[in-house]
Amino acid sequence: MSDNTEFDPFNQPEGADVNDAAPAEGDVLAGVDLDAELDDLFAGAEMELEEEESDEEVRVYEAGNTYVNPLDVGLKDKMWVPIRISVAEFKEKHTPRLSSKVCVAVKVGEDGKKRVYVPFDQVEAALQTGATEVVTEMELPYFICEANHVAPEFGQRRYPYEIESPALTIKTAFFKEQRSGRKGYKNEDGRTLRVAASATQPGEKVSLKTMPEIAKRIEGKVVMACITLSTKTKSRPRLDGNNQPINVLVDTETGAPVTVFSPQDGSGYILNDGSGQVWEGNEKLLVKVDDRVYAIADRGENSAPLMEDYAQTTDYLKTKFLPVPERKVEVEMRNGETVSGEITWGTVGAIAQDKTPGVFVDVLLRTGKTVTAVWLGTQWTEVAKDEDGEGGGLDEFAGAKNL
Element (H, E) at 115: strand 114-117
CB 164 within 8 A of CB 316: no
Q: Check residue 18 and give its pLDDT.
A: 36
Residues ≥6 apart with Cβ < 8 Å to 18: 9, 12
8 CB burial (10 A radius; 0-12, 13-18, 19+): exposed
Residues 371, 332: Cα–Cα separation, whole Å: 11
Residues 390, 73: Cα–Cα separation, whole Å: 17
Q: Check residue 111 and give its pLDDT.
A: 77
Q: Check residue 147 and give its pLDDT.
A: 97
CB 319 within 8 A of CB 165: yes
pTM for this model (two decimals): 0.74
Residues 224, 195: Cα–Cα separation, whole Å: 11
Q: Check residue 39 and give its pLDDT.
A: 64
Per DSSP (E only), the strands in 238-369 are 247-249, 259-261, 269-271, 278-279, 286-290, 293-296, 303-305, 307-322, 328-332, 338-343, 360-365
Smallest CA-to-CA distance from 261 within 289, 282, 237, 302 is with: 289
Q: Check residue 285 and give its pLDDT.
A: 95
Residues 308, 231: Cα–Cα separation, whole Å: 16
Q: Check residue 86 and give its pLDDT.
A: 95
pLDDT in tens, 10-38: 333 444 443 344 344 444 444 556 566 55
pLDDT in tens, 233-269: 999 999 998 999 999 999 998 999 999 999 988 778 9
Per DSSP (E only), the strands in 119-258 are 132-137, 140-149, 156-157, 161-166, 170-173, 184-187, 222-237, 247-249
Instruction: Quickly name the fold that domain 325-382 has.
Output: SH3 type barrels. (2.30.30)
Taking 3-state DSSP, the helix, strand and coil percentages for the chain, each rounded to the nearest 5, stand at 15, 35, 50
Domain ranges across the chain: 66-99+139-232, 101-133, 239-305, 325-382
In eight-state DSSP terms, residue 357 is T
pLDDT in tens, 126-176: 999 989 999 999 899 999 999 999 999 999 999 999 999 999 999 999 988
Q: Check residue 25 and give its pLDDT.
A: 41
Q: Check residue 96 and give its pLDDT.
A: 84
Residues 50, 401: Cα–Cα separation, whole Å: 53
Strand pairing class (380-382; 328-332): parallel
CB 339 within 8 A of CB 345: no
In eight-state DSSP terms, residue 306 is P
Q: How far is CA 151 from CA 63, 81, 110, 212, in A?
A: 9, 8, 57, 28
Low-confidence ranges of the chain (pLDDT < 70): 1-49, 56-64, 385-403
Residue 71 main-chain phi, psi, to 5 deg = -65, -25
Q: Check residue 249 and give its pLDDT.
A: 95
Q: Check residue 387 and give its pLDDT.
A: 59
Smallest CA-to-CA distance from 345 within 320, 365, 363 is with: 363
Q: How many CB atoms lie within 10 A of CB 239?
A: 13
Q: Check residue 274 and give its pLDDT.
A: 84
Q: Check residue 14 and give its pLDDT.
A: 41
